[in-house]
Structure 1
Amino acid sequence: MVTTMHAVAPAAGVAGEGPVDEVARLAAVEESLIEQMRAEALGAPTRGVLAYGEYQSGGWWTASLMNHSACGDPHDVVIGDGRPGPTSLLEAMPATARFLAGLGLDFMYVRLARLAPNSFLWEHRDYAELHDRPRHRLHVPLVTNPSAVLVTAGTRVHMAAGALWRLTPSQAHGVCNVTGPDRLHLIADVYADDAYEALAAGAHLQEQDVDSLPTMTTEDRAGLLGRAEQLAGLGFPTAAEENLLRSYYRFALPEGGAYDLIAELHERRGADGEVRRWRAAKAHLLAR
């Protein structure tokens, strides 16, 4: 059995400036254990399933390690409350199973999540329908690269390997992997308890983790909308929309700002149905 004491240790370093309430390092994870879990994840017999299409550009794959499936199906990726059981995939990943058990946490759901190159998870919130119990999301990066970043509160954060990270998914956020290779994370949703609070006491960010995005100028906005209008006029409205959605990863926008840009694009085009659709998407994806 890998214990928390041996597998996970308080991360060294002084807390840095940045959105620590939204995303933070909690602890260091032994490199030898990362290597074992990485080998198990890369050797898994399934990539999982493409899920949450409304949140993404494509390229987001998930496979369950602990879920509420009666038969332990790793392709059941519906997140919900309750005490999960191991799937057949976790049963074939002994090092990962020992790591999870050694954390001593109260799990809600555990999965492998893969984000392919040139893929984006658009700005959204999670947990909007789950209010009865406090919960948190933990990440262990297994494969990553500098272009794979999380964006929240106008800040890019690269979740580096070798650490256990916490994300607060009830805050608006998005993820991108621009150049690749695949970004592969072990993700665990856990309920708040004394074991979690002890682990979270070490929450911090290091200076190299954080990069503030620039503010969008009037000229930037006009240029983005002008290029989007050109694309839409040439018959590529989806490409125009995705170009505007990607502005979330380039500029520090107000919450939902990328969706507002798309609504403005369609207002200029007189496409009232599309305006209503994107305003509804904004309300749905960013629901509190």
Structure 2
Amino acid sequence: MATTLPATVTAAQTGPRSAELLGQVARLADLEDSPVEQMRAEALGATTRGVVAYGEYQSGGWWTTSLLNHSGDPHDVVIGDGRPQPTSLLEDMPATARFLDSLGLDFMYVRLARLEPHSYLWEHRDYAELRDTGRHRLHIPLVTNPSAVLVTAGARVHMAAGSLWRLTPSQAHGVCNTTGPDRIHLVADVYADDAYQLLATRPHLRDGDATDLPEMTAAERAGLLAKAGQLAELGFTGAAEQTLLRAFYTYALPEGGAYDLIAELHAGRRADADVSRWRAAKAHLLARP
């Protein structure tokens, strides 16, 4: 195993909704400080912020740039199956390149993902286009803060720096960074092989990694719809929709519940085209692989 990974990882400590949650997000290993600090410095000094992609998934403020892809262009951020090559950006990030090489994994795609303050990735699933490919997603947080959280399985999870994490993106999830500074993660999609299985032998969460979200009461639901309705009546339809989308990060909603709230809002306004649009968005963003 690479020298940046310890021979053993911290003993598993399960948090709320532990069985379901551990299937979706977990620490796999602790990392040495020095490589993480070097990669952080390279990410902060990168010559490009990347590009805004997958706009239907986000509020704005989510940027990605490729380190390993199929074209070598760091601004080519379309994920696809196949063996990648270093981009021109990775060539300027030697510590990051050494770290990736040290893992001994079979990479499909590697990128830097930046989420600005006051930004959201709406509830969605990934990998629908790669349903026949055995693969896993790894996260190495380089810059983060306590308000930058992943929401999945009815819980908020802060993916702390200093560890290598696994995310199962084929399950419904969303991300927010409510106060900042920027959240920057190194994200690697890797193929399932013996090296990955060795890395992933002890998935775990520590106390404090995850917090259960409360259920939404009938009164809270009515109040939220009323607030959104007032905004829509004033002509701020986008703000009304985002008010309801952000409920996903506050309450333990059923899957697609925020999209259902928006459809209900527009049904009350008799805006049939908007109802259809958001029902279609729900089906698209939460399509199962």
Is this a same-fold pair by TM over 0.5? yes
The 8 Å contact of residues 66 and 110 in structure 2, kept in 1 or not, is answered as yes
Unaligned runs of 5+ in 2: none
SS at match of 1:117: coil
CA distance in 2, matches of 1:133, 1:265: 39
The 8 Å contact of residues 248 and 257 in structure 2, kept in 1 or not, is answered as yes
Aligned-pair identity (%): 73
Q: Which has the larger displacement, 10-19 or 138-147?
A: 10-19
CA distance in 2, matches of 1:8, 1:59: 32
Match of 2:2 among 2, 5, 8: 5
Counterpart of 2:4, as a letter, is A
Counterpart of 2:14, as a letter, is G
Deviations 1:244-275 (A, max 9, x none): 00000000000000000000000000000000
Q: Which has the larger displacement, 160-169 or 131-140?
A: 131-140
Match of 2:53 among 51, 54, 59: 51
CA distance in 1, matches of 2:199, 2:208: 22
CA distance in 1, matches of 2:240, 2:27: 36
Name the structure 1 match of 2:148.
148
Alignment of 1:272-287 (within 5 A): 272-287=272-287
Alignment of 1:115-126 (within 5 A): 115-126=115-126
Name the structure 2 match of 1:169.
169
| TM-aligned CA deviation for residue 132 of structure 1 | 1.7
Alignment of 1:38-77 (within 5 A): 38-69=40-71, 72-77=72-77
The answer to whether residue 37 in structure 2 is matched with residue 35 in structure 1 is yes
* Displacement over 2 Å in runs of 4+: none
Unaligned runs of 5+ in 1: none
SS at match of 1:113: strand
CA distance in 2, matches of 1:11, 1:122: 32
Number of residue pairs matched by the alignment: 283
User: TM-score under structure 2 normalisation?
Assistant: 0.97
CA distance in 2, matches of 1:117, 1:169: 22
| TM-aligned CA deviation for residue 133 of structure 1 | 1.7
Name the structure 1 match of 2:28.
26
CA distance in 1, matches of 2:105, 2:39: 18
User: TM-score under structure 1 normalisation?
Assistant: 0.97
Alignment of 1:240-259 (within 5 A): 240-259=240-259
CA distance in 1, matches of 2:101, 2:182: 26
The 8 Å contact of residues 12 and 203 in structure 2, kept in 1 or not, is answered as no
| TM-aligned CA deviation for residue 6 of structure 1 | 1.3
CA distance in 1, matches of 2:132, 2:267: 39
Counterpart of 2:213, as a letter, is L
CA distance in 2, matches of 1:60, 1:262: 22
The 8 Å contact of residues 139 and 164 in structure 2, kept in 1 or not, is answered as yes
SS at match of 2:267: helix
| TM-aligned CA deviation for residue 15 of structure 1 | 2.7
